[in-house]
Structure 1
Amino acid sequence: MDTGYSKWRKLDNAALAFPLVTGKNDTRVFRFYCQLKEEVNGEILQAALDQTMEKYPLFQAVLRKGLFWFYLEHRDIRAVVKPETEPPCSRLYIPDKKSLLFQVSYDKNRINFEVFHALTDGTGAMHFLQELVQDYLILAHPQADLPQIEHAEEITHGDKEEDSFSQYYSSDIPKDKEKKKAAVKLKGEKLVHSDMHVTEVALSVKDIHRKARSYGVSITVLLTAMMLCSIREEIPKNQQKRPVALMIPVNLRNYFPSQSMTNFFGWIEVGYTFSDETTFEDVLLSVKKQFEEELVKEKIAMHMSGYVRIEKNPFVRAVPLEIKKYFLMIGANLGSRSITAVYSNIGIIRLPEEYKEYIQHFGIFASTNSLQMCSCSYGDEMVLGFTSKIPDNSIQRNFQRMLGEENVSHRELKNEFPGYGEKHRLEKKENQKVIQTFSFLCLAIAVICGMINFMMAGVLNWFWFAGAGCACAWLVVMVAYYKRRNILKNEMWQLLLISAIAILWDRFTGWKGWSVDFVIPFGILAVQFSVPVIAKINRLEREEYLFYLVQAGIAGLIPMILVWTGIVQFAVPSVICAGISFLTLAALFIFCKKDTMREFHKKLRM
């Protein structure tokens, strides 16, 4: 296996905002699956996945946070096949959890490949799934002598992980000054992720192609127009003057010679402002014209350079991520104002003819915060995957009715996802109940202390200390809980929090200096000594603990500064802390200079 790929790489431009906008109800995960004509064998699928991973080592990465940007880092974590138990498109990226950003699962005849969008796009996922299905069927049917997928040329690992946005960016391309109109928004209370509607419709490629040709348009244009009209029927009266607009992702590999398996997509926005006189043909002609105007290389390059120009802006690069994330989230929300829903067409999936004996169809759908339709085709079967957080499925029904009116044969696929059901919701409620109970207990103790204090003394005096103690305990436990997935990061947060709490207690109880004389230096030393112990017990790789050790070492020099400024009165703990911290930093830069500098480069990359 070629290991010439980098140990870490920056996120490509299209993926920069995904870690910030993902959450429990919008996971930014999409599922690409293959429905076989036979039941899937989990052991054979695991062997096939092991083979596939040798060709896609760039997928063996975890998402980590630097000071200015997120980045992907290679990890020797084995990708493990699992029976499907979670709801479709469940969360894969969880902050501070060192886990791969994709999951292969199976249920009955179906092989699922789910991936967090920051890792790859639909094209990259399609190539991975094709390879996985090929490897599985070759292993499952050794007597069939199935052929390998033919690749035009051998793609190196460097080609697969190329950041094509930076490769083809040009600062000379003019800015896009077109202003987008606010589009219709699908209103109403949204479903939680575990209740997301998934509707799949299979239709004949021959039928839909014949219908598209009769109108003189492509299949994508026809389906886009049908989606716009299906949404139009559900527009409330107070939004009739706004356009219905779809975001259509565009594979930039069709315009620039890239073989990257990372994200390399842009998008266009196609919309229509309806009136009472609007006909389907009117919408079709408008959509066709918009596609022709938008899908030209010059305009695609202008949009792409606009995205990259923001990333390369010196001011944006210099702003720390913890501040920058709020502006990126605001930008993402403002950008979504001109979009009603999303339609993503992955296109045709091709495998050698011999595989048709074993494959029923392929399908794709994605998590959404509102409404999304995805499509792909294999052989003569195109599958449309609708996902929706809207309680009713009127738009999906409208779309199927229109297919019938256009004489396109279709059927709704019967999906049974094992992850749906009461069990998942009960487990989620149990976790919430623990936090709620602890929060209530802290509040109750504070209130009871106040009641006792007032009944005994007629005033509230020592209650304020008891209340502050409960608040501090609640804060420390909450931080420990929410940072529980990364013990070392948890330690740094607790050090900062406890130091601040100690200084405040010292200040409001008549300054004695115990917080700076003892708590801060001994706290820093405790963290420094615990880092290598935790790393040893948890068998952490050097990259996982080195930067935290550097942070603790730098923090250990602060007590000496406090000594020089005269704030510290009893200097012995501070001198010991500063001396050990200096030696720790010196050892890191003398004995581990290369790894330490690499960590600084990753974390501080602007």
Structure 2
Amino acid sequence: MKKQPRFRRWHKLDNTANLFPVVASRRTTNVFRMTAVLRDTVDPGLLQRTLEQTLPYYAAFGVRLRHGLFWSYLEANDSVPVVRLEQDVPCRYMDPLETGRFLFRVLYFENRVHLETFHVLTDGTGAMRFLKAICYRYCQLAYPDGTEQEKRYGLEQAGNVEDCYLKYSRPSKKAGYKEPSAFHIKGTKRLAGDVGVVSLLMPVTDLKRVCKESGVSIGEYLAALVLCSIRQAHMPAGGAKKPINLFVPVNLRRIFGGDTSLNFFSGMTVSQKFGPGPANFDAVLQDVKRQFAEKCTREAFEQKLAYTAQSEKNLFARMTPLLLKNGILRLIYEHSSHGSTTTLSNLGVVDVDEKFQPYFEGFRFLLPASPGEPLKFTACAYGGTLALNVTTLLDRNPLILQIAQHLVQAGVPITLESNGDENETL
């Protein structure tokens, strides 16, 4: 068996991660969930054994958060994390006393394995790698006759904790960027602590056919669909003065290279202003396509990297006490939060090693809804099925029905999967 690597005892937070400890709270958790849907019911004892065997390879996860005088950092955590039965709402606040100071939790329910991660550790790409590595090892132990026992899978980038934000940032004379204030979704809130979850499952082949007919990508189509559905379900008939701003995270590994296990993502805002009358989906779709082409470019993200890396390299900022830095970061976050209506994060196709494909049925991906964004959207695909997932703090969801009806009318069959809330309107 591959010898477990030795990592340094601590590493700095990556450039993006500095924000998350400052703004995290029980209302805005910054905890996201990756789920593997397996073929058979999960054995919790075996899952615990699997986690203990996999974690030592992942330097980004075997840590706890510490705070110094000038910066926060991540220090090796020698405790043993414990897998638990899922009993609470997804993406809830990461209480360090509950998790043994770890910044992630592994949960199970029936045939599902959930990995919930505090965003300070990594992004969706890094978390999915860790989840797959856990599940690969689980399958090796659960089905010894069908898999090799000695070889370890999913560990290729486990030890890479390079800060790619600093590595790929270049000096830029251009000023920072600012998004206009956005339309915000209103509605009757659920009870405190309650979160609704709905997944719309659809065949990838049918969705691709519809997208091809319009000359757009799946990401562009879903973005336009979310924009128009928010307009129909939550905006007054006369429209609104403020635009709907959709934040779309982008995996920067695909643009710059680099393969860190830490955060390495940025994002672009796709904006649409709606006047009186129903939304013209085809017109919105083509405008979304234009915005993707203009904003999802290496040049655009180079400017963002340069802007966000300035504080990391600035001597005055580096010598500013952490308490003061955190106060400034909180003010910046509160100001910027007015520029987003909601988020759509598309993880794309989840690749599973061919040896383990028979043991997986699918994947899900959830972002935490927050008071400022009471609805959030994610998408991922596996085995010919795309899951469009919605987390919501609102009591009723005409928007979800709007999305489902549009897709069915376009020729894409939909299967709805929810967390069983009787108040959900679909």
Asked if these proteins are the same fold (TM beyond 0.5), I'd say: yes
Partners of 1:330 and 1:189 in 2: how far apart?
A: 28
Letter in 1 for 2:235: I
Instruction: Classify the secondary structure of the residue corresponding to 1:271.
Output: strand
Partners of 1:267 and 1:250 in 2: how far apart?
A: 5
Aligned residue pairs: how many?
Answer: 413
Q: Counterpart of 2:424?
A: none
8 Å Cα contact 2:137-2:152 kept in structure 1 = no
Instruction: Classify the secondary structure of the residue corresponding to 1:217.
Output: coil
8 Å Cα contact 1:184-1:239 kept in structure 2 = no
Counterparts of residues 388-467 of structure 1 (less than 5 Å): 388-415=392-419
Q: Counterpart of 2:179?
A: 180
Q: Counterpart of 1:247?
A: 247
Partners of 2:301 and 2:162 in 1: how far apart?
A: 19
Counterparts of residues 119-268 of structure 1 (less than 5 Å): 119-145=121-147, 154-155=156-157, 157=159, 160-171=160-171, 173-188=172-187, 190-191=189-190, 194-233=193-232, 234-236=234-236, 240-268=240-268
Sequence identity of aligned pairs in percent?
Answer: 33
Q: Counterpart of 1:41?
A: 43
Pairwise CA distance, 1:150: 6.9
Partners of 1:11 and 1:113 in 2: how far apart?
A: 20
Pairwise CA distance, 1:167: 1.0
Partners of 1:93 and 1:263 in 2: how far apart?
A: 21
Pairwise CA distance, 1:92: 1.3
Pair 409,308 (structure 1): closer, same or farther in 2 beyond 3 Å: same
8 Å Cα contact 1:63-1:98 kept in structure 2 = no
Instruction: Classify the secondary structure of the residue corresponding to 2:162.
Output: coil
What per-residue deviation string (whole Å, max 9, x for no partner) do you get for residues 178-215 of structure 1? 54221111135644662111111111111111111111
Letter in 2 for 1:185: H
Letter in 2 for 1:263: N
Partners of 1:189 and 1:408 in 2: how far apart?
A: 30
Pairwise CA distance, 1:320: 2.0
Partners of 1:323 and 1:202 in 2: how far apart?
A: 46
Partners of 1:340 and 1:154 in 2: how far apart?
A: 37
What per-residue deviation string (whole Å, max 9, x for no partner) do you get for residues 289-317 of structure 1? 10001111111111121111133333333
Partners of 1:248 and 1:193 in 2: how far apart?
A: 27
Partners of 2:274 and 2:222 in 1: how far apart?
A: 17
8 Å Cα contact 1:208-1:219 kept in structure 2 = yes
Counterparts of residues 492-511 of structure 1 (less than 5 Å): none
Partners of 1:156 and 1:230 in 2: how far apart?
A: 39
Instruction: Classify the secondary structure of the residue corresponding to 2:242.
Output: coil
Instruction: Classify the secondary structure of the residue corresponding to 2:256.
Output: coil
Q: Counterpart of 1:88?
A: 90
8 Å Cα contact 1:121-1:262 kept in structure 2 = yes
Q: Counterpart of 1:440?
A: none
Counterparts of residues 276-295 of structure 1 (less than 5 Å): 276=276, 278-295=279-296
Instruction: Classify the secondary structure of the residue corresponding to 2:82.
Output: coil
Letter in 2 for 1:65: H
Q: Counterpart of 1:301?
A: 302
Pairwise CA distance, 1:53: 1.3
Letter in 1 for 2:393: K
Instruction: Classify the secondary structure of the residue corresponding to 2:202.
Output: strand
Partners of 2:68 and 2:189 in 1: how far apart?
A: 33
Partners of 2:354 and 2:213 in 1: how far apart?
A: 29
Pairwise CA distance, 1:321: 2.2
Partners of 1:78 and 1:97 in 2: how far apart?
A: 9
Pairwise CA distance, 1:51: 2.2
Letter in 2 for 1:165: Y
Letter in 1 for 2:35: Y
Segments of 5+ residues of structure 1 without an aligned counterpart are 418-606
Partners of 1:149 and 1:237 in 2: how far apart?
A: 57
Instruction: Classify the secondary structure of the residue corresponding to 1:114.
Output: strand
Pair 238,304 (structure 1): closer, same or farther in 2 beyond 3 Å: farther
Pairwise CA distance, 1:14: 1.1
Partners of 1:96 and 1:323 in 2: how far apart?
A: 28
Letter in 1 for 2:388: L
Pair 237,256 (structure 1): closer, same or farther in 2 beyond 3 Å: same
8 Å Cα contact 1:83-1:106 kept in structure 2 = yes
Say yes or no: does 1:383 pair with 2:383: no
8 Å Cα contact 1:27-1:367 kept in structure 2 = yes
Instruction: Classify the secondary structure of the residue corresponding to 1:325.
Output: helix
Pairwise CA distance, 1:13: 1.1
8 Å Cα contact 2:157-2:260 kept in structure 1 = no
Pairwise CA distance, 1:405: 1.9
Instruction: Classify the secondary structure of the residue corresponding to 2:16.
Output: helix
Letter in 2 for 1:92: M
Letter in 1 for 2:104: F
Instruction: Classify the secondary structure of the residue corresponding to 1:386.
Output: strand
Pairwise CA distance, 1:127: 0.7
Pair 322,276 (structure 1): closer, same or farther in 2 beyond 3 Å: same
Pair 357,77 (structure 1): closer, same or farther in 2 beyond 3 Å: same
Partners of 2:25 and 2:260 in 1: how far apart?
A: 27
Partners of 1:156 and 1:389 in 2: how far apart?
A: 34
8 Å Cα contact 1:26-1:193 kept in structure 2 = no
Letter in 2 for 1:215: S
Partners of 1:93 and 1:265 in 2: how far apart?
A: 25
What per-residue deviation string (whole Å, max 9, x for no partner) do you get for residues 61-117 of structure 1? 011112222211111011221111222112114499861001111111111111111
8 Å Cα contact 1:101-1:116 kept in structure 2 = yes
Q: Counterpart of 1:118?
A: 120
Higher normalized helix content (fraction of residues)? 1
Q: With structure 2 as the length reference, what TM-score do the two structures score? A: 0.91
Pairwise CA distance, 1:39: 0.7
What per-residue deviation string (whole Å, max 9, x for no partner) do you get for residues 328-361 of structure 1? 1111121122210000011111113443332211
Bigger CA drift: 383-392 or 205-214? 383-392
8 Å Cα contact 2:80-2:100 kept in structure 1 = no
Pair 150,214 (structure 1): closer, same or farther in 2 beyond 3 Å: farther
Counterparts of residues 48-87 of structure 1 (less than 5 Å): 48-87=50-89
Partners of 2:43 and 2:100 in 1: how far apart?
A: 28
- Compare CA radii of gyration and give the structure with the larger one: 1
Taking only aligned residues, the RMSD between alpha carbons, in angstroms, comes to: 2.3
Query: Which of the pair has the greater relative contact order for Cα pairs under 8 Å at 6+ separation?
Result: 2
Q: Counterpart of 1:546?
A: none
8 Å Cα contact 2:246-2:342 kept in structure 1 = yes
Instruction: Classify the secondary structure of the residue corresponding to 2:105.
Output: strand
Letter in 1 for 2:147: D
Instruction: Classify the secondary structure of the residue corresponding to 2:60.
Output: helix
Among 98, 104, 107, the residue aligned to 2:106: 104
Instruction: Classify the secondary structure of the residue corresponding to 1:255.
Output: helix
Higher normalized strand content (fraction of residues)? 2
8 Å Cα contact 1:62-1:101 kept in structure 2 = yes
